[in-house]
Structure 1
Amino acid sequence: MLPKRADTVFINGKFITMEDASPLAQAVAVSGGRFLCVGTKEEAMKYAVEGTEIVDLAGKTVIPGLIESHAHPCYYGDQCATINLSGEATTSMENILKKVAAAVAKTPKGAWLFGWGWDEAKFKEGANPITAEILDTVSPDNPVFIKRTCGHVGSVNTLAMKLCGITADAVPPVGGKIFKDEKGVPTGVISGAVQNWIPFPKPTDEQIMELVATDIQNEIFRKGITTTTEMAAEARFVKIYQELQKQGRLKMRIRFYTFARSNVNCPATLAETVKVGLMSGFGNDTLRFAGMKYLLDGSTGGKTAAFSVPYVGEPDNFGTLYNDQDELNADMLLTAQSGMQASLHAIGDVAIEQALQGVEYCLAHGVDPSPLRFRFEHVESPTVEQIERMKKYGILVGTSAGFIYALGDSHYNVMGPERVQWAFPNKEYVERGMVFACNNDCPVCDINPMLGIYSMVCRKTQGGKSFGTAQSIDRMQALKAYTVNAAKMLFDEDIVGSMKAGKYADMVVLNEDYLTVPDEALGKITALATYLAGEAVYKA
C-alpha cells in the first residue's frame, strides 16, 4: 500500500507521463523514492504535510528518466585511458596524426601507444584509411594501435605488426581480418578477433571504479539517463559495480550482460554462468544481471557488418560473420533453457538472418520466446520478410538509430544513398506494433539520448547528409524508444519508464518544451535537472 504522506511535491510542471490513460500531468507527489500521485496540482498537494518539500517547476517540461538500453560505461572508462581521437580530433587525418605525435613525444622509445575514436568519414581530406605507412611517419619507433570509433576496426603501424605477428601469411582467427593491398601486403588495418593479438592496456579496477563513480555516472545523469546497461560486462566490471553499490556510490540503475562466446578481449561466460545457475533478473533494482550477449557481425562504417549486398567500391566485401550457425544455435538454446535472455548484435541482413535462425532453432526445441524476450541489437538493414519474422516471434529490437547522426556519414559512404533510405527502419516497427528501443552504444557515440531522438525523427547525419524521411517517426514514438519500450527491453516496465503511482520517481526537467520545439532542435534539448527515485542527481 502506498503511503499518504509526500516527501516532495513537484508542481506547475508539464509532465509527459508516457501513460496512455493520462499522458499529461501538472504535478506529482513523491514518497520513499516512488510516485505517490501523478495528476493535477490539487491532487498532488493533498499529500503535502508539514515538512514536505514543494518544488515549483514554473511551467518546465518533465519527462520520465531516460533509459539507455545498450551502452558500455566501463569500456568508456577504458577509452578515457587512451589517446582521445574522437570529436575535434577526428575532423581530419592531420589532427589524428598530431595527437599521436604528441603522445609519442611524451613516451619512451619502444613503449606502446593506444588511441580510440577516429572516423575516416569525418576527415576533411577524404574518407581514406589510416595505414601503417601513415602511422610510421609520426611513430617509427613506438608500436601504435588506434581503434576506430566503432571498436570493431583498428590501425597499427609497422612496428606493431612486427611485434604482434601480423604478416601476409598469418591466419586470422574466426571473425577477424587482416586487410591487405593488391599485392597481398598487410596495410595495417585489422578487424574483429585480430585485435586480440594487440596487448591493449586495461586500466586498473580502481581507476575504472573511480571513473564510473564520478565522471561517467555524472555524465550519464547530465544527459537525463537514470537507467543504463553494461552490454559486455567482464567479470571485473561486475565486481566493480558490486563494490560501488556496497560503498553507496552506485546510484544509476545498471543492467549487465556478459558475453556468451569469446570476443575481442572478452572470454566466454556461458558455461560458467549456467554452471552456477544464474538467471536473468538476479540482483536488485539498482544492479541486475540481464542475460547473455552475442556478437554476430562487425560494424557498417568499418565495413565488417555482414550484408547480402557488397560495400560501395568493394564488390567482394560483404562483411564478416563471427559465428558458425550450428555452434550459435546450440549456445542460444542453452541460454534459453537456462532462463537467460539472449541479446544478439546483428547489424547487416546476413547477421540478422543468422540471429533469426538461432531463435527458430530454439523454438523448434520447445522454447517459449515470450518470457525470454529475445533482443536483436543495432538491426540496421533487416529485410521486410525478416521484420515479419521478428514480429511473429516477439523479438525486441534495439535499434541503434543514434548512429544516423554520429556515424551516418560513414554509413552513407559505404552503403550508398539508396540503401541508407531503409537503414534503421523504425517506421516499419511502429506500423507493425513492435516494441523497439533506441540506443547510442556509448562509447561508440555520445550517450546523449536527444541525439538518438533527433536521428529517429529527422534522419540526418552530423555532416548534413539525409537518410530520407520514409522511415522517420514522430517525437512521441521516439521518446517511447527511450522510456517505456526501453524499460520492457530490460524487464523493468513495472518500475520505470513512465510516471505512474508506484513506479520509481525518475524524472528529467528539460530546458525546452519537448512537445513544441521544432524537429531540427530536438537534438539540442538539454536536462536542467535529473531526479532518480525523487533525489536530484544532477542540476545544471
Structure 2
Amino acid sequence: MIKNNISRGAIALLVLSAALVGCTRIDGSAAPHTQLAADQIFSGGPIVTMDTAQASAEAVAVRDGKIIAVGSAAKINQLKSAQTEMVDLAGNTLVPGFIDGHSHFSMATTSASWANLSGAPVGKVSNIAEVIAELQAQAKRNGHVAGDWIVGFGYDADTLADGRHINRDDLDAVFPDNPVIVVHVSFHGAVLNSRAFEAIGYDATTPTPEGGVIVRREGSNEPLGLVMETAWFPAARALPLPQGEVRFENIKLAQEFYASNGVTTIQDGLTNLDSFELYKEAAERGDLYLDLVALGGSEDLDAFAADKEQYADYHKRLKLAGIKLIVDGSPQGKTAYFTEPYLTGSPSGEADWRGEPVAPAEEVESLIGAVYEKGMRAFVHANADAAVDILLDAHKKHLDKAGDDPRTVIIHSQFIRQDQLEDYARFGMVPAFFSNHAFFWGDVHLNNLGPERANFLSPMKSAADLGIHFTNHNDYIVTPMDQLLTVWSAVNRVSRSGQVIGAQERISTEQALRAITLDGAWQYKEEQRKGSISVGKLADLVVLDANPLTVDPMTIKDIQVLATYKEGLKVYPQ
C-alpha cells in the first residue's frame, strides 16, 4: 500500500511537472518553464494583460524575472511555495510596464538646476514678469554668481498674457552680468540675453544659418532674443552640464523619475558621443536598472556604427537602437516644414511661411542611405508633411539597403497626409505620434494651421484602420513624463480650451495603452519579450490605482502609478 501511494504521488508530480515544462501553462496555453514554484504571484485586482489571446486574468506568476503563468487565482496559486512573495494588488490594477516611445532621458539628467518656466498645468508662469521671477528664484537656489549661466525650460509665449515673446531687453534689465538661456518649450529654440549672445558669438553681423531662425530687432540686424532650429544649436551646446560623480547620481535619479511614471524601458531621443560614453560607463558600473535605449546622433554615424555589434541588443541594460535624424522643426514653434503655409506667418513675421527643413533633401537622402548601408535603423524627426515627403523619398530610393524589416520610425508624424499614412503601411514604418499636442497646443494649431490640418494631428485612428503599429510619447522634457496623460490625450484629444481636436481620430483606451506597451515593444523590435503580460515575457509590470479601461475616459489622466516592477524587482517606490 505504501508503495502504491508513493507511485500515485510520483505520478501526480510528473503530471504537474509536464504541465509546466515546455507543454502548457496551468491555464492551458504554452508556458516553457522548468521550475514549479513562483518567486512572486500578483493577484487581488484587475489584470490588464494587453495580450489579445487572454485580455485579462486573476493572477500572474513570476520566476527569475519572467512571467511563467497567467490565469485564474486558483490555478496560479498552485505555484506558491513557502518562499513565494504574494503581491496583493488590493483592488488596484496591474498593467504591463510602459515603454517610452520617445523622450530625452539626457534632459532628466541635466535639467534639475534649471528654472521651470512652463505655463499651467505643468508650471505656474503666465506672463513675462513671472518668467523673470522664476529665473531669479532658481538663480538664488543655485547660488549663482556673476558670470554663471542661468537656464530655464518650458518657455511658451503662447501661454503668456503679454501676447509677445520675452526678449533680450527684458532679461538684460535683471541679469546684466549673467548669460541667460530661456529654452523654448519645443526644445528647438531659446531666447538669449546679451551676455549669452556674446558667449556664442552672435551679433548684428551673424548671418541666419540655413534651416534656422534669428528674430532681429525691428529696423536692425541685431538679434532680439529668439533663435530657432540650426540658429539655436550654438546656444544648446553652451548649456552647462553636470560634472564628475554627480553625473552618475543624476542617472540614478532620472531612472527613479521614469520608474515613478511606470516606465520600464527608457529612450534617450538624441544621444551624442559624450552622453553615450557616459551611459556605457554607467552600465559597466551597474548603475542602470531600467532598460535604456539610445538613439545616436547622425553627425557621429561612423562612431556609433563601431559600437553597433556590442549594443545592438542590451548590454548591461544599454542598447543602441539606431540613428536619429532631424528633418524639420516644431509646429508650436512654427518651424515644422509644411507643403502649405502657416496662416499666421513665421516666428519673425514673414508671410507665406511654410517652415524650412533643418537639412536639405539631398543631405537627408544621403544620410538615410548611409544609415541603412551600415545595417542600422533610422529614427527620423519629421513633424509636418513636407518633411515627411523628404523622408519618404529618401526611404524609397534606398529600399534595397533597408533590409527585410527596417521598421523605420518617424518621430512625431504630427501633421501628415492620408497618402503618407498609406506609405507608412506599405513600407512597415512606425509613426511615433505625439497626441499630447492636442491638449497643450491644439488651440494654437487651429489658429496657425486651420481646422483641416489641426484636426488630423497625430492621426491614430486612421493609422489603426490601416493596420499600422504606432506608438505615442510625451517627448519629455517638452511635455510631462506622465504616461496616463499621454493615454488620456489620445483617447479624448481635448485642448486647453476644451475643444476636441479631431474627434474622428480619437482611439479607444485599449488602443492608447497598446501604443505605450505592446506597440512600444514593436518599435524597438522587442515584442517577443516585452509589452504584454504573457508567458515567457519579462515581468515588467506597473500597479495603477484605477483601471484605465473602466474609468470615465476624462479621468484617465488622474490615475496614479503606485508601483513599478522591472523583471520582477520593485524599482518604485524603493
TM range (shorter): over 0.9
> Shift of residue 212 of structure 1?
1.8
Query: Residue 214 of structure 2 aligns to a residue in which SS?
Result: strand
The DSSP-based 3-state class of the residue aligned with 2:123 is helix
How far apart are the structure 1 equivalents of 2:280 and 2:218? Answer: 51
8 Å Cα contact 2:116/2:123 also seen in 1: no
Aligned-residue offset at 1:454: 0.8
Q: Does 1:90 align with 2:125?
A: yes
- Cα 1:64–1:73 change in 2 (3 A) is same
Q: 2:102 aligns with which of 41, 63, 70?
A: 70
**Alpha-carbon separation, structure 2, partners of 1:409 and 1:495:** 40
Quick one: which amino acid aligns to residue 304 of structure 2? T
The 2-side partners of 1:435 and 1:104 are apart by 45
Pairing 1:246–2:278 present: no
Tell me the residue number matched to 1:478.
512
Letter in 1 for 2:530: V
Letter in 2 for 1:114: V
**Residue 329 (structure 2) aligns with:** 298
Q: CA deviation at 1:17?
A: 0.8
Relative distance call for 1:125 and 1:51 in structure 2 (3 A) is same
Once the two structures are superposed, the pairs formed by residues 169-248 of structure 1 within 5 Å of their partners are 169-185=205-221, 186-198=223-235, 199-204=238-243, 206-214=245-253, 216-248=254-286
Higher radius of gyration, 1 or 2: 2
Q: Percent identity?
A: 29
1:42 Cα deviation from its structure 2 partner:
1.9
Which residue does 2:152 correspond to in 1?
115
In structure 1, the residue matched to 2:301 is 270
Contact 1:13 1:62 in 2 (8 A): yes
Q: Which deviates the most, 437-446 or 319-328?
A: 319-328
- Kept in 2: contact 1:280–1:291 (CA 8 A): no
Q: TM-score, normalised by structure 2?
A: 0.87
Change (3 A) 1:27 1:478: same
**Secondary structure in 2 aligned to 1:380?**
strand
SS in 1 for 2:95: strand
Paired residue for 2:430?
Answer: 396
Post-superposition shift, 1:474? 0.8
Matched, 1:429 2:429: no
Question: Would the aligned equivalents of 2:114 and 2:138 in 1 still touch at CA under 8 Å?
Answer: no
> Residue 30 of structure 1 aligns to a residue in which SS?
strand
Structure 1 unmatched runs, 5+: 261-267
Give the secondary-structure state (helix, strand or coil) at the position aligned to 1:486: helix
Aligned to 2:381: 345
C-alpha separation between the residues in 2 aligned to 1:157 and 1:294?
Answer: 30
SS in 1 for 2:405: helix
Compared CA separation, residues 255 and 103, structure 1 to 2 (3 A): closer
CA distance in 2, matches of 1:206, 1:410: 42
Aligned pair partner of 1:160 in 196, 200, 224: 196
**2:433–2:458 CA contact under 8 A, matched in 1:** yes
Q: Which moved more, 1:201-210 or 1:419-428?
A: 201-210
Task: Choose the corresponding residue for 2:54, options 19, 22, 29.
Answer: 22
TM-score, normalised with respect to structure 1: 0.93
Aligned residues: 529
Contact 1:451–1:522, Cα closer than 8 Å, also in 2: yes
Deviation digits for residues 58-116 of structure 1 (CA, Å, limit 9, x no counterpart): 33221111111211111222222323323334332221011234456764344432222
Q: Structure 2 matches for 1:315-334, cutoff 5 A?
A: 315-334=351-370
Deviations 1:92-141 (A, max 9, x none): 22210112344567643444322222112222333x21222222332234
| 2: CA distance, partners of 1:301 / 1:409 | 10
The residue aligned with 1:263 is: none
Q: Is the 8 A contact 2:375 2:402 kept in 1?
A: no
Query: For each residue in 1:213-264, what CA deviation from the matched residue of structure 2 results, as whole angstroms up to 9, or x when unmatched?
Result: 02x211211111111111111223223333333333311111111111xxxx
Aligned to 2:398, the other structure's residue is in SS state helix
Amino acid at match of 1:212: I
Q: Judge conservation of contact 1:77–1:211 (CA < 8 Å) in 2.
A: yes
Gaps of 5+ in 2: 1-31, 346-350
Provide Cα deviations, 1:181-218, integer angstroms capped at 9, x if missing partner.
Answer: 5524332110122223333212225323211202x211
